[in-house]
Structure 1
Amino acid sequence: MAYASLDELTERLGRTLDEAEELMAEAALEDATALAMEYGREWPEDDPPRLVKTLVLRSVRRYMENPDGFTTSRAGDETVQWSDAHGRDAGSVYFTRDEQALLKGLAGRTPGLMSASVSAWGPQRPLPRDVTAGYVPAAGMPHSEIPYFAHPTEPW
């Protein structure tokens, strides 16, 4: 299963692949798809979001252009440097941090503050008239209490 085809990758690379490269590219497309599912979610294979397909192709193209994971290559006076290939990612299919964030956003997995409405279920006990404030123990802090203010649910 892959979110992009070998033909689409070949167009991105701008060259034809030999038989060994085609096998490597197909495996890389499957790996990138699995990573896209890990960082995002599982989209339908026949119709993933356009940006997901773009990110998969970008990741595989990066890998196919530098499968050995070189960070610097020198030949005579010419030096080529891959600034985005470093550490454990060099020589593998990977998504950059920005690409990971895009996948999470597309999947609706962005971190942030949320609110949830809460309602009481079942009968509620009215509080005695003299109880309007109390204290509860604070977790991890022995002999400490934090104030807990109770508001009556019914008028007295």
Structure 2
Amino acid sequence: MNSGTSLIGQTLPAFMVGYSLDHTYRVVIGIRASNADAACAIARAAFDAGTLWDDTPDMPLLYDDYEELDGQAVEFDATPIATWPTADVSVRAVKLHAAAHQLLAFARLADSRLPLPAAIEAWHPDALVPMTVTARQARELHVLLGGLHAC
């Protein structure tokens, strides 16, 4: 969505169309305890302390996501508008999350093409380190970084 783009004078009227689905937020962690009640008490204490999501070896984070509730019918609503509103921060978060995966893939590619860390350990910190990427990979990186800049 473009911020502030006027839609007046266009051929068709514009609408913001949305739908809502009920979800439940579910988090699952691993806990060792003498029984289920003790495990739940440990989880409650970690929740209250804000450490439930720390993902430690003794309390690994196993699941953290929203689950759609069953039996819902999707119903759309539409509101007429004169300009596209600024996209909500949630849209930025979705774009950043998608870009992070692409950037991580490129970082792994770059790492695989660099000399081994032991080989460059004695090099001066400002020495240039050779690495080769294809033109396609360089273009993809420029597009990715341009998209991140827009976020």
Instruction: State TM-score, norm by structure 1.
Output: 0.21
Instruction: State TM-score, norm by structure 2.
Output: 0.21
Bigger-Rg structure (1/2): 1
By relative contact order (CA 8 Å, sep 6+), the higher-ranking structure is 2
